[in-house]
Amino acid sequence: MDPLYLQIAERLARLIRAGTLKRGERLPSVRELAASQAVSQSTAVQAYRWLEDARLIEARPRSGYFVSSRPPRLPEPEASRPESRSRAVRLDQLGQQVLQLSTRDDIISFGAACPGPELFDQERVRRALARAVLRHRDLLCRYPSGPGMEAARRAVARHALGLGCELHADDIVMTNSCMEAISLCLKSVTRPGDVVALESPCYYGFLEILQSLHLRALEIPTHPRHGISLDALQLALETQPVKAVLVVPTLSNPLGASMPVPERRRLAQLVAQHDVALIEDVLYNELSEQEDRRRAVKAFDSSGHVMICGSFSKTVAPGLRLGWVEAGRWGQVLRQTKAVQSGGQTAVLELALADLLNQAGNGAALRQLRATVATRVDAARGLISASFPKGTRVTDPAGGYILWVELPAQLDSVALYEACLAENICIAPGLMFSASPRFRHCIRLGVGGHWGPQHPRALRRIGALAQQLLDAAPLAA
pLDDT at residue 1 is higher than 60: no
Dump pLDDT digits (tens) for 26-40: 999 999 999 999 999
pLDDT, mean of residues 181-199: 98
Q: What is the distance between the alpha carbons of residues 254 and 455, in angstroms, rounded to a whole number?
A: 20
Q: Which domains does the chain have, with CATH numbers?
A: 4-67 (1.10.10.10), 89-118+369-476 (3.90.1150.10), 120-358 (3.40.640.10)
Residues forming beta bridges with residue 443, ordered by sequence position: 405, 429
Where does 253-408 show beta strands of DSSP type E? 277-281, 306-311, 323-326, 393-394, 402-406
Q: What is the distance between the alpha carbons of residues 187 and 182, in angstroms, rounded to a whole number?
A: 9
Specify whether the CB–CB gap between 374 and 57 falls below 8 A.
no
Specify whether the CB–CB gap between 291 and 275 falls below 8 A.
no
Q: What is the distance between the alpha carbons of residues 390 and 85, in angstroms, rounded to a whole number?
A: 33
Residues forming beta bridges with residue 402, ordered by sequence position: 446
Dump pLDDT digits (tens) for 239-293: 999 999 999 999 999 999 999 999 999 999 999 999 999 999 999 999 998 888 9
pLDDT at residue 72 is higher than 80: no
Q: pTM score, two decimals?
A: 0.87
